[in-house]
């Protein structure tokens, strides 16, 4: 399915303090270093158009939210969405334009995250391209290390084999994340009342969505 062109804000739209390049980030990513407070920190990998973080950060001002998006214009679009949603006033959402993988590998302290969210990661359908998937053996170990005991990993996709592979890899590599807890489909009350744009798209085209959450138990 083709993607629509993405709207980026005018250069004069102020994204300072909201949108960061990797080089501008502190050495360690934490609530203290990014938000100067100790609220629980949730990270979304591959934020796309930023719907999840814009909705969630306004609904839950007691937590901090960091989105990491590898395509610069999507990161910019997401950051502008946060600002329009009130992120500057609430002060709990920021966006990084960059690759999540090295950040999780080197710059997040073990047991420091409240939640990791991965929604509709690129499927990389061909078998020979599977190693490019953002959820892979290494990233599962990294997420599991980074999440605190009692913290969560959310993984949603509309690609059944990606879902099955991920559930299997977590059982093998990160059993401390506990058992897969199915997440329910929620009734949409308006046109943007979906977890993400890709959930909206899948449901509009009647494509099944597979949703799971893990809660780290040790
Ligand atoms: C299929 S889109 C889904 C976007 C959004 N999560 C949603 O559900 O609407 C996957 C997104 O992940 C981003 N992405 C892929 N690899 C990434 C990586 N290593 N680090 C950060 N973002 C990544 C892509 O650029 C893309 O925007």
Residue pointed to by tokens 């997420």: 143
184 annotated as a binding-site residue: no
14 annotated as a binding-site residue: no
- Coil, helix or strand at residue 212: strand
Could you tell me what percentage of the chain is helix, strand and coil, using 3-state DSSP and rounding each to the nearest 5?
Answer: 40, 20, 40
| ipTM reported for the complex, 2 dp | 0.99
Asked if the structure places residue 5 within a domain, the reply is no
Tell whether ligand 1 has an atom less than 6 A from the beta carbon of residue 46. Answer: yes
39 annotated as a binding-site residue: no
Number of domains present in the structure of the chain: 1
Asked if the structure places residue 13 within a domain, the reply is no
Q: What is the pLDDT along the chain (218 residues), one digit of tens a residue?
A: 455 689 889 889 999 999 999 999 999 999 999 999 999 999 999 999 999 999 999 999 999 999 999 999 999 999 999 999 998 999 999 999 999 999 999 999 999 999 999 999 999 999 899 889 999 999 999 999 999 999 999 999 999 999 999 999 999 999 999 999 999 999 999 999 999 999 999 999 999 999 999 999 99
Which domain CATH number covers 63?
3.40.50.150
| CB distance 73 to 103 below 8 Å | no
Asked if the structure places residue 129 within a domain, the reply is yes
| CB distance 157 to 208 below 8 Å | no
Provide the domain limits for residue 37: 19-215
Tell whether ligand 1 has an atom less than 6 A from the beta carbon of residue 101. Answer: yes
pLDDT of residue 4: 64
For residue 186, what are the contacts with CB-CB under 8 A and spacing of at least 6? 193
Tell whether ligand 1 has an atom less than 6 A from the beta carbon of residue 156. Answer: no
Asked if the structure places residue 182 within a domain, the reply is yes
CA 30 to ligand 1 centroid distance, Å: 21
pLDDT of residue 87: 85
pLDDT of residue 120: 98
Asked if the structure places residue 73 within a domain, the reply is yes
The CB-side HSE value for 127 (13 A sphere, CA atoms) comes to: 0
Structure tokens at 49: 């158009």
CA–CA–CA angle 135, 139, 140 (5° rounding): 80
Report the side by side order of strands in the sheet with 41-45: 19-21, 93-97, 64-69, 41-45, 113-119, 147-157, 210-215, 181-182
For residues 55 and 200, give the distance between their C-alpha atoms in angstroms, rounded to a whole number. 14
DSSP state of 51: H
For residues 105 and 54, give the distance between their C-alpha atoms in angstroms, rounded to a whole number. 26
Asked if the structure places residue 14 within a domain, the reply is no
Asked if the structure places residue 135 within a domain, the reply is yes
Q: Name the catalytic one among 122, 161, 172, 193.
A: 122
Asked if the structure places residue 11 within a domain, the reply is no
Tell whether ligand 1 has an atom less than 6 A from the beta carbon of residue 121. Answer: yes
For residues 181 and 45, give the distance between their C-alpha atoms in angstroms, rounded to a whole number. 20
């Amino acid at each position: 399915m083709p993607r629509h062109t993405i709207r980026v804000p005018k250069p004069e739209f102020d994204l300072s303090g909201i949108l960061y390049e990797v080089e501008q980030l502190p050495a360690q990513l934490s609530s203290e270093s990014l938000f100067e407070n100790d609220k629980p920190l949730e990270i979304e990998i591959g934020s796309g158009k930023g719907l999840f973080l814009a909705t969630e950060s306004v609904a839950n001002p007691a937590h901090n939210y960091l989105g990491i998006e590898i395509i610069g214009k999507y990161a910019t679009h997401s950051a502008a969405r946060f600002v329009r949603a009130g992120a500057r006033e609430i002060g709990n959402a920021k966006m990084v334009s960059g690759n999540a993988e090295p950040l999780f590998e080197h710059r997040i302290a073990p047991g420091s995250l409240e939640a990791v969210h991965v929604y509709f990661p690129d499927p990389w359908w061909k078998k020979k391209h599977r190693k490019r998937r953002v959820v892979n053996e290494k990233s599962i170990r990294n997420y599991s290390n980074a999440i605190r005991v009692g913290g969560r990993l959310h993984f949603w996709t509309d690609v059944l084999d990606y879902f099955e592979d991920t559930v299997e890899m977590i059982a093998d590599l990160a059993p401390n994340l506990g058992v897969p807890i199915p997440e329910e489909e929620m009734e949409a009350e308006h046109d943007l009342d979906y977890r993400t744009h890709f959930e909206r798209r899948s449901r509009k085209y009647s494509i099944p969505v597979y949703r799971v959450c893990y809660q780290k138990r040790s």
